[in-house]
Amino acid sequence: MISGTGLDETDDDCETGTSGMRRIWICEDQLDDPVSMIEAASAAVSQSVSEKRTPIVLGGEHTVSIGTATALCEHYDDFGIVTLDAHADLRHEYEGNSFSHACTLRRIREDLQLPVAQIGVRSYSRQEAADIKENMWIVLTPWKLREDGEYDALLEALSLMPENIFLNIDLDVLDPSEAPGVGNPEPGGLGWYELLDVLYITAQEKNLLAADVVEFLPLENDRVTLRLAARLVEKLASVL
């Protein structure tokens, strides 16, 4: 027997932009000059934090997340990054570029020395897998996340992280059937409700300093990914 309708949350519950408390920075890709892009994003986020705002950054290239992390380092002594991503992004360099999207988490771990929990990873090189095991880095694959139908592994991972968190969402953590408009789609990703579970659990367990949604690269006439990304930003704004 079905009790209740489940219609607990309406579209009106996620209003954004009305409080004046939040500012959304949209960072344009500068693929030919990633360092400038990182600096521009860092300056924008730093100003936003100085104004006591909670920034949400939209990309674009995953590299822009380094800018957000760099800015947060200026303002907070102790924080970590929870990143949702299909890819490990732990390469030292990719196609001759150490600031490629495939190197983002390597830069954040090594250059910024920040603790990281990586959720939804299902694409990684042999070397990346070896590095994860050797360093005992916190990495949850989608199948580990789903273990026993509970979120025990996620809660354990979060318990190992600092109280303050930057939530970094690469849209390719989702299954491509739900979010096809990403730069590097990988099968076997999270569903929308799984992503929301991770988002809400993280927001419940931790203090979110900032968030970003990156690697949005819509296909032609792709209203699906566009709509999903917009909804995701609404959900983020409702918990930040």
- Nearest CA-CA partner of 86 in 64, 62, 68: 62
Q: Can you tell me which of 56, 64, 67, 87 binds Mn ion, judged by CB under 5 A?
A: 87
Binding mask 169-208 for Mn ion (x = CB under 5 A): -x-x------------------------------------
Which three-class secondary structure state does DSSP give residue 120?
coil
Q: Is 85 in the site for Mn ion (CB under 5 A)?
A: yes
Q: How far is the CB of 200 from Mn ion (least distance, A)?
A: 22
Applying CB under 5 A, which part among 28-36, 78-86, 131-139, 219-227 lies near Mn ion? 78-86
Q: How far is the CB of 103 from Mn ion (least distance, A)?
A: 12
- Nearest CA-CA partner of 203 in 163, 153, 147: 163
- Please give the size of the binding site for Mn ion, defined by CB under 5 A: 5
Nearer to Mn ion, 87 or 106 (CB): 87
| H helix or E strand, kind and range, residue 212 | strand 207-214
Applying CB under 5 A, which part among 21-29, 32-40, 75-83, 167-175 lies near Mn ion? 167-175
Tell me, what DSSP letter sits at residue 86? S
Kindly report the backbone phi and psi dihedral angles of residue 190, in degrees, each rounded to the nearest multiple of 5, phi listed first.
-70, 150
Tell me, what DSSP letter sits at residue 148? G
The CA-atom distances, in angstroms, between 42 and each of 102, 135, 176 are 20, 28, 30
> Would you state the structure tokens that stand for residue 6, as one six-digit string?
């489940």
Nearer to Mn ion, 45 or 179 (CB): 179
Residues 6 or more apart from 176 whose CB is under 8 A from it?
Answer: 182, 185, 186, 187, 189
Binding mask 30-69 for Mn ion (x = CB under 5 A): ----------------------------------------
| H helix or E strand, kind and range, residue 230 | helix 223-239
Nearer to Mn ion, 49 or 167 (CB): 167
Nearer to Mn ion, 86 or 153 (CB): 86
Q: Is 128 in the site for Mn ion (CB under 5 A)?
A: no
Binding site for Mn ion (CB under 5 A): 85-87, 170, 172
